[in-house]
């Protein structure tokens, strides 16, 4: 049984390396389940121990010309997620991205003239952030370390570190102590 588990894990690491071959670079031990769609016309850089699900519904990562997508180490992205970088999207170490999450640093068109390409603005996701199911993060947003974004939220403005945010638009519901800080006894 243990040998079977190790073989299965090794199989998914090899599949991860195969599916991520179009990325600019990726770290050690990537695991990919299913067949993601990866389009790299810019730069896609992925850290160590990346876990990417694309088995129930296809997940996608796209870096457009001049765009850069950086994903830290120990990041988990669940099925159906869509990440698009026209300019810059950064996902910090230890993040967990829920099913059907959508991160776009561009609106793809202008409001006034839909035939015109929209402006891009970076998305920065801090370390250990958890995005729930169907969370949408729009251009120009920074989410601080250790934040949790509730399911179905649309994040249109910056969210501070160490808080729970939810809603449309996403708003801070409560804050909590930094898990890395030493609280007085």
Give the model confidence (pLDDT) of 68-122 as tens digits: 999 999 999 999 999 999 999 999 999 999 999 999 999 876 666 667 777 899 9
Rounded to whole angstroms, what are the CA distances from 72 to 80, 118, 122, 126? 20, 27, 16, 10
C-alpha closest to that of 95 among 19, 149, 159, 158: 149
CB atoms under 10 Å from CB of 45, counted, come to 17
Spatial separation of the C-alpha atoms in residues 146 and 162, rounded to whole Å: 5
**Domains of the chain as residue ranges with CATH:** 2-173 (2.160.10.10)
Its pTM stands at 0.89
Give the model confidence (pLDDT) of 22-81 as tens digits: 999 999 999 999 999 999 999 999 999 999 999 999 999 999 999 999 999 999 999 999
C-alpha closest to that of 71 among 94, 102, 105, 38: 94
Query: Which region, left, alpha or beta, applies to residue 17 given φ > 0 means left and ψ of -120 to 50 means alpha?
Result: alpha
Token duo for residue 12: 């998914």
Average pLDDT over residues 169-175: 96
| Exposure on the CB side of residue 26, measured as CA atoms within 13 A | 24
CB atoms under 10 Å from CB of 78, counted, come to 22
């Amino acid at each position: 049984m243990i040998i079977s588990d190790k073989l299965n894990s090794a199989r998914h690491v090899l599949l991860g390396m195969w599916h991520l071959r179009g990325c600019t670079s990726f770290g050690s031990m990537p695991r990919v389940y299913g067949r993601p769609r990866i389009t790299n016309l810019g730069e896609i850089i992925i850290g160590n121990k990346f876990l990417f699900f694309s088995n129930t519904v296809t997940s996608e990562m796209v870096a457009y010309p001049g765009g850069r997508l950086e994903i830290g180490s120990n990041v988990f992205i669940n099925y159906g997620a869509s990440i698009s970088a026209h300019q810059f999207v950064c996902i910090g170490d230890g993040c967990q991205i829920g099913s059907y999450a959508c991160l776009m640093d561009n609106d793809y068109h202008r409001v006034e003239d839909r035939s015109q390409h929209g402006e891009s603005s970076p998305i920065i996701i801090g370390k250990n952030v958890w995005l729930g199911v169907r969370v949408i993060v729009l251009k120009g947003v920074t989410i601080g370390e250790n934040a949790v974004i509730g399911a179905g939220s649309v994040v249109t403005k910056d969210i501070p570190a160490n808080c729970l945010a939810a809603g449309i638009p996403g708003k801070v519901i409560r804050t909590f102590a930094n898990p890395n800080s030493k609280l007085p006894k």
